[in-house]
Amino acid sequence: MIGKVSWFSPRKYSGWGLTPNCWQGWFYIVFISLPIIFIPKLPINSQVKLPLMYLWGLIFSFDFIHILLHLKKDEREILHEAIAERNAIWVMIAILSLGFAYQTSINQPDPIIPIAIIGSLIVKAITHFYLRHR
């Protein structure tokens, strides 16, 4: 892969993803971003630009996922991450529920919101069932 795991650490306070922890990590971010900026400006046919953008995005995505999967975390970091994820999901569900209640009150409910809430409930139930019987 292009990037090295040692160049990054997990992002803790500003969302999901990676935080560069050395100059090589920052260089990697710039290197991976430049084609996204310059490919659309190339004087070539748009039928070539789009596949180039998709290819570069695919390469970046696989490299990013590779780095994320190989980051080392200790038990405490894993527990803290799980608690933070749980709390973020509870807030997201509360906001989605309030949004759906508001939309229902003005007679314009969006069906995607209850689908998201019910879908997350199903995933949680399946996960608990799997983990309990493993």
Task: Please answer whether residues 19 and 9 qualify as being in contact, where contact means their C-beta atoms are separated by less than 8 angstroms.
Answer: yes
pLDDT of 16 over the 70 cut: no
Task: Say yes or no: 100 and 114 in one domain.
Answer: yes
Q: What is the pTM of this model?
A: 0.54
Which pLDDT score is estimated for 14? 59
Domain boundary among 72, 103, 122: 72
Task: Say yes or no: 11 and 47 in one domain.
Answer: yes
Task: Say yes or no: 12 and 68 in one domain.
Answer: yes
What average pLDDT is seen over the chain? 84
Domain count, the chain: 2
Task: Say yes or no: 94 and 119 in one domain.
Answer: yes
Task: Say yes or no: 96 and 51 in one domain.
Answer: no
Domain boundary among 45, 72, 99: 72
Task: Say yes or no: 65 and 97 in one domain.
Answer: no
Task: Say yes or no: 33 and 57 in one domain.
Answer: yes
Task: Say yes or no: 58 and 11 in one domain.
Answer: yes
Task: Say yes or no: 12 and 58 in one domain.
Answer: yes
- pLDDT category, 15, cuts 50, 70, 90? low
Half-sphere exposure of 84 (CA within 13 A, CB side): 12
pLDDT of 12 over the 70 cut: no
Q: Which of 87, 85, 92 is nearest to 117 (CA)?
A: 92
Task: Say yes or no: 59 and 115 in one domain.
Answer: no
Domain of 49, in residue numbers: 5-72
Task: Say yes or no: 118 and 82 in one domain.
Answer: yes
Which pLDDT score is estimated for 105? 92
pLDDT of 133 over the 80 cut: yes
State what percent of residues in the chain have pLDDT above 70.
Answer: 94
27-58: pLDDT as tens digits: 988 988 888 888 888 888 878 888 888 898 89
Task: Say yes or no: 84 and 127 in one domain.
Answer: yes
Task: Please answer whether residues 36 and 49 qualify as being in contact, where contact means their C-beta atoms are separated by less than 8 angstroms.
Answer: no
